[in-house]
Amino acid sequence: MNNPLVDKSETPFNTPPFSIIKNEHFKPGIEQLIKDAKTEIDTIVAQEGTPNFHNTIEALEKAGKQLDRASSIFFNLNSAETNDEIQSIAKEVSPLLTEFSNDILLNEGLFAKVKTVHDTIDTSALNTEQKTLLAKTYKGFVRNGALLNSNQQDQLRKIDVELAQLSLTFGEHVLAETNKYEMVIENETDLVGLPQFVIDQASETAKEKGHKGKWVFTLDYPSYVPFVTYAANRALRKELSIAAGSKAFKGDDLDNQEIVKKIASLRHQRANLLGYETHAHFILEERMAESPEKVMSFLSEIGTYGKGGAERDVNEVAEYAKQLDGIEELQRWDFAYYSEKLKKEKYTIDDEMLKPYFKLEYVIEGVFETAKRLFGLHFIPTKKIDKYHKDVMTYEVKDTRDKHIAVFYADFFPRAGKRAGAWMTSYAGQYKDAEGDHRPLVSIVCNFTKPTSSTPSLLTFNEVTTLFHEFGHALHGMLADGQYESLSGTSVFWDFVELPSQILENWCYEKECLDLFAKHYETGEAIPQHLIQKIKDSANFMEGYQTMRQLSFGMLDMAWHGQDNTELENVADFERSIMSQTDVLPPIPNTNMSCAFSHIFQGGYSAGYYSYKWAEVLDADAFAYFKEKGIFNNETASLFKDNILSKGGSDHPMTLYKKFRGQEPDVKALLKRAGLLKS
Which one, of 137, 253, 145, 236, lies nearest residue 186 by Cα? 236
In whole angstroms, the minimum distance from the beta carbon of 423 to Zn ion comes to 8
Q: Which helix H or strand E contains 337, and what residues bound it?
A: helix 332-346
List the helix and strand counts (H, then E) for the chain. Answer: 27, 9
| Complex with Zn ion: residue 357 or 412, whichever CB lies closer | 412
Q: How far apart are CA 475 and CA 644, in angstroms?
A: 11
Residue 92 contacts residue 430 (beta carbons within 8 Å): no
Query: From residue 381, how far is each of 364, 370, 397, 400, 428 by CA, in Å?
Result: 12, 17, 9, 16, 19
In whole angstroms, the minimum distance from the beta carbon of 364 to Zn ion comes to 19
User: Which amino acid makes up residue 551?
Assistant: L
In whole angstroms, the minimum distance from the beta carbon of 421 to Zn ion comes to 10
Q: How far apart are CA 242 and CA 246, in angstroms?
A: 6
Residue 408 DSSP code: E
| Complex with Zn ion: residue 233 or 501, whichever CB lies closer | 501
Residue 355 contacts residue 460 (beta carbons within 8 Å): yes
In whole angstroms, the minimum distance from the beta carbon of 616 to Zn ion comes to 12
| Complex with Zn ion: residue 425 or 501, whichever CB lies closer | 501
In whole angstroms, the minimum distance from the beta carbon of 491 to Zn ion comes to 14
| Count of residues in contact with Zn ion, rule CB under 5 A | 1
In whole angstroms, the minimum distance from the beta carbon of 222 to Zn ion comes to 22
In whole angstroms, the minimum distance from the beta carbon of 490 to Zn ion comes to 9
Which one, of 407, 347, 398, lies nearest residue 377 by Cα? 398
In whole angstroms, the minimum distance from the beta carbon of 248 to Zn ion comes to 29
In whole angstroms, the minimum distance from the beta carbon of 498 to Zn ion comes to 5
Q: Are strands 436-438 and 431-433 parallel, antiparallel or unpaired?
A: antiparallel
Site for Zn ion in 631-650 (CB under 5 A): none
| Complex with Zn ion: residue 174 or 474, whichever CB lies closer | 474
Residue 481 DSSP code: -
Active site residues: 470
Strand partners, 445: 411, 423
Q: Are strands 441-445 and 215-217 parallel, antiparallel or unpaired?
A: unpaired
Q: Are strands 436-438 and 441-445 parallel, antiparallel or unpaired?
A: unpaired
Helix runs in 508-610, H state only: 511-517, 529-539, 543-561, 571-579, 598-601
Site for Zn ion in 452-511 (CB under 5 A): 501
Residue 263 contacts residue 568 (beta carbons within 8 Å): no
Q: What is the 3-state secondary structure (H, E, C) of 130-162?
A: HHHHHHHHHHHHHCCCCCCCHHHHHHHHHHHHH
Other beta carbons within 10 angstroms of residue 509's beta carbon come to 17
Residue 397 contacts residue 478 (beta carbons within 8 Å): yes
| Complex with Zn ion: residue 465 or 501, whichever CB lies closer | 501
Based on the shown chain and the rule CB under 5 A, indicate whether residue 426 belongs to the binding site for Zn ion. no
Which one, of 92, 103, 116, lies nearest residue 64 by Cα? 103
| Complex with Zn ion: residue 504 or 639, whichever CB lies closer | 504
Q: Which helix H or strand E contains 433, and what residues bound it?
A: strand 431-433
Q: How far apart are CA 180 and CA 530, in angstroms?
A: 47
Q: Are strands 441-445 and 423-428 parallel, antiparallel or unpaired?
A: antiparallel
DSSP helix/strand/coil, 636: helix
Which one, of 370, 336, 112, 300, lies nearest residue 225 by Cα? 336
In whole angstroms, the minimum distance from the beta carbon of 171 to Zn ion comes to 24
DSSP character string of 216-279: EE-SSHHHHHHHHHH---HHHHHHHHHHHHTTT-SSSTT--HHHHHHHHHHHHHHHHHTT-SSH
| Complex with Zn ion: residue 501 or 602, whichever CB lies closer | 501
Nearest residue by C-beta to Zn ion? 501
In whole angstroms, the minimum distance from the beta carbon of 178 to Zn ion comes to 26
| Complex with Zn ion: residue 280 or 480, whichever CB lies closer | 480
| Complex with Zn ion: residue 228 or 474, whichever CB lies closer | 474
DSSP helix/strand/coil, 659: helix
Which string of x and - marks every residue 78-107 that binds Zn ion (by CB under 5 A)? Answer: ------------------------------
| Complex with Zn ion: residue 137 or 490, whichever CB lies closer | 490
| Complex with Zn ion: residue 310 or 459, whichever CB lies closer | 459
What is the chain's length? 679
In whole angstroms, the minimum distance from the beta carbon of 495 to Zn ion comes to 12
Residue 446 contacts residue 411 (beta carbons within 8 Å): yes
Residue 163 contacts residue 594 (beta carbons within 8 Å): no
| Complex with Zn ion: residue 67 or 499, whichever CB lies closer | 499
Q: Are strands 393-398 and 378-381 parallel, antiparallel or unpaired?
A: antiparallel
Residue 484 contacts residue 62 (beta carbons within 8 Å): no
Instruction: Give the binding site for Zn ion (CB under 5 A).
Output: 501
